[in-house]
Amino acid sequence: MKTKMITTHNLSRFLALFGLIFLAALTACSREDEVVGGETAVSPPTTSPTSKPAETAVPVPTATPENIEETPTTEPTAEPTPLPEPDAVNFSLTQAESSLPDDLYQQISYFGMIDFFFEGLLCDEMVYEEIEIDSQHDLGAYAALSGSTESDPTLYDSIEVRTCDWQDGDEISIKLTLPSGETISQTHIYGQADSFSPRPERINQLAAAEYPFDYGALGVYFVPGFDSELGAYRFEIEGNGRSFSHTITVTPPNQPRVFDDGSDEAPAWLLSQFAPGEQVRLVAYGSRDCDRDAMYEVDINYVSLCLIGWQRYTVPENGRLNIQAEPASTFVYYAIVGEQSGTFALNTLVNAEVVQSNAHVRADWIPWLYESNTRTTALHRLSPSTLVRITGQHESYRLVQLSDGTEGWVASVAVEVGETAVSPPTSYIYLTNGTDLPEWVYLPTAPYFYMGSSSYDTEFTEEAEQPTHDVSLSPFWIQRTEVSNAAYAECVAAGSCTAPSSIASNTQLDYFTNTEFANYPVIFVTQPQAQTYCEWIGGRLPTEAEWEFAARYPKNSYYTWGNLANAAADNPDLANFGKLVGDTTPVYNYISGATESGLFNMHGNVWEWTADWFDPAYYQNSPSENPTGPESGNEKVARGGSWSTSLEYISLTNRFNRDPNQGYDNVGFRCVSTTNINGS
């Protein structure tokens, strides 16, 4: 089966749609601040909240069933017992309160448009023969743009099949066979687009939508009812000598579910499979003059979306809740915030992220506090567990306020989400040295990171670093510093490690055994010796990909301070390189050049052994998931540069090849682990 990627034509159409919606919202929004009835609020708290952020659920982006993993059609286990629809409860925008619940901070951001652009929407190209496709489709899953099928609480929408290469005038026969055997058929003439009727009128109906600028695409939709049959839904499409069939097996939902049962003018939702007695908040967003703390500047058309109001509901014992919103004069976005079910959007265009206001820096991170979201000026290093109050967000950084009143921007991944936000009694806000920090740093999994370098966007690159390519890694822990003389000496004393081949350094005759240099990096160890030490403490040497990910996370820049090498030449406090010192320095030095997560000396001091064999052409065909390097070779890869390395070779992407059985005065190592061995 051939597939095509929907291009920026579709993006343009979406941008136009967004522009019209937002323009209408801006021009129509003339009323005073609106709030909901009952327990309501319209603006962020003016005093610091007392609780810590709850973990937010990320809405599932949309996808066509063609992108869902293909599985044989199976009969569902059992149909759910029909339950009576609960009486509707109202959501009103006409009553006013003065503040939000003080445990929440509300934020608007996009996911639909962005995911559409980067993930793409696949379209099956019809050929002159029948194509059979089978797939599973959870009754609680939203037909998303990006193809994600994660089991998060999701908006229930429609089942969709999309075909391409239609031309004006093509007569297209569409048939859908329901699980009962009943069929729904219609004929569609391409170029005569149907106008969608309000959603309630489309329940259990077949509808078609044209996308002429996207390879002549035709989307065929079926909108099941709330208690629609489970089983196989078979689409058959024929026209212009071509045919296509797609069977989607609808299975019972195993998660909270929201059924959109209203219209843009009068939204309504039927919630099911929520926990009985669960407290659920419906949060409404709109376009108006916003308080700075609640405002999110949308990049398209410079529209500000902010919180209008919220209302709390208690889910009845049957796990169902029917909410009817009053008509609004402006376009309003809605989100559900459930105590147990999580947070997810009720509109397909935006992701309404709702998090608690009070948070703290991760216990093992030392992120920079930046002056602005452009991150050009770093103000301070924050200590682990520092309390912060979230007041804003832009992309992957949060605007926070510290206990001393200082405001700045911190990487979102550095902000801990958990049950409590209690700062240790002796905690301090700003970090001045790293000697008391936890030894290991946790690096979470990421969908991918951009590995390697390109001559188009960096000053210094080599062929062995090219091409850039996407790599996905499993989460791991990594040592904050290079292994010190003292740490390695413990392994030697225990009889598990052999001593370095020399006890000297470039300028010191007695380096390894002299306690004056106990916190300096161990050198003159071979790659196998380094691996033995890592195994002794319960870890291993990092792969090349793990090392580079750790060094570049979360900014993915070529240097810990940005993308320009010359910053190190202008600031000697960033790294030990270029024979400026002439030898190694303590493993906790150069805090200014540490990564956001708090890894020291990823530039300079000593090269660091990795587990991978060196092959200059390896990136040409490197695996995208957890690459481990070539199966064999003559030299191993070392990373990061050293005290003697010139500026052009200390980038985080540079690959250095060394004889693994030789020790050097400028090569050391650090270890990784798949488990946390802090304090062990």
Q: Which of 97-106, 124-133, 459-468, 661-670 has the highest mean pLDDT?
A: 661-670
In the three-class reduction of DSSP (H, G, I as helix; E, B as strand; rest coil), residue 64 is classed as: coil
For 127-178, the pLDDT digits (tens) are 434 444 444 433 333 333 223 333 333 344 567 777 777 889 999 999 999 9
Residues whose CB is less than 8 angstroms from the CB of residue 456 and which lie 6 or more positions away in sequence, other chains included: none
Q: How far apart (Å, rounded) are the C-alpha atoms in residues 22 and 304?
A: 9
Using only C-alpha atoms, what is the Rg of the chain? 29
SS (H, E, C) 449-501: EEECCCCCCCCCCCHHHCCCEEEEECCEEEECCCCEHHHHHHHHHCCCCCCCC
Please say if the pLDDT value at position 546 is more than 80.
Answer: yes
Where is pLDDT greater, at 570 or 159? 570
Please say if the pLDDT value at position 651 is more than 90.
Answer: yes
What pLDDT sits at residue 200?
59
Domains delineated in the chain: 358-432 (2.30.30.40), 446-673 (3.90.1580.10)
Per the prediction, the chain carries an average pLDDT of 74
Which backbone phi and psi does 447 adopt, to 5 degrees?
A: -55, -40
Q: With residue 388 as reference, give the H or E element that holds it.
A: strand 387-394
Full-model pTM: 0.61
Cis? peptide before 467, omega within 30° of 0: yes
Strand partners, 281: 312, 337
Strands 242-251 and 132-138: parallel
pLDDT band at 488 (very low <50, low <70, confident <90, very high): very high
Please say if the pLDDT value at position 324 is more than 60.
Answer: yes
Q: With residue 175 as reference, give the H or E element that holds it.
A: strand 171-177
SS (H, E, C) 271-329: EECCCCCCEEEEEEEEECCCCHHHCEECCCCCCEEEEEEEEEEECCCCCCEEEEECCCC
What pLDDT sits at residue 137?
38
Q: Residue 178 in contact with residue 184, Cβ under 8 Å? A: yes
Q: How far apart (Å, rounded) are the C-alpha atoms in residues 407 and 582?
A: 39
Residues whose CB is less than 8 angstroms from the CB of residue 623 and which lie 6 or more positions away in sequence, other chains included: none
What pLDDT sits at residue 485?
98
Q: How far apart (Å, rounded) are the C-alpha atoms in residues 364 and 547?
A: 18
For 373-412, the pLDDT digits (tens) are 788 889 999 999 888 888 776 777 888 888 888 989 999 8
Please say if the pLDDT value at position 622 is more than 80.
Answer: yes
Q: Residue 234 in contact with residue 177, Cβ under 8 Å? A: yes
Q: How far apart (Å, rounded) are the C-alpha atoms in residues 291 and 342?
A: 26
Please say if the pLDDT value at position 557 is more than 50.
Answer: yes
